[in-house]
Amino acid sequence: IRSNIVVLVFDAFDHFTMCYKCVGVWFMHCHFDIHSVWGMSMAFIVKNGKGASQTLPPPPADLPPC
């Protein structure tokens, strides 16, 4: 079993601890598409840390605005 997958049986739940080492937004979801439509997904925002390896570089100067 992969360490980033939690397998649940019908009508069950689980709890877990996540330790993120990469900055960014991480999407957590079920693999049934209809569940995302029902709101059974979430995003975790991992902010910059204190060290150089824990911080995103700034965007390039020539990056066009949205």
pLDDT confidence of residue 42: 80
Enter the DSSP assignment of 10. Answer: T
On the question of pLDDT at 12 being above 50, the answer is yes
Enter the DSSP assignment of 13. Answer: -
* pLDDT tens figures, 29-65: 777 777 777 877 788 888 887 877 777 778 889 988 8
pLDDT confidence of residue 9: 79
Residue 31: Cβ-neighbour burial (10 angstroms; 0-12, 13-18, 19+): exposed
Tokens of 38: 């029902």
Q: At 37, phi and psi to the nearest 5? A: -65, -35
- Contact (CB, 8 A) for 20 and 26: yes
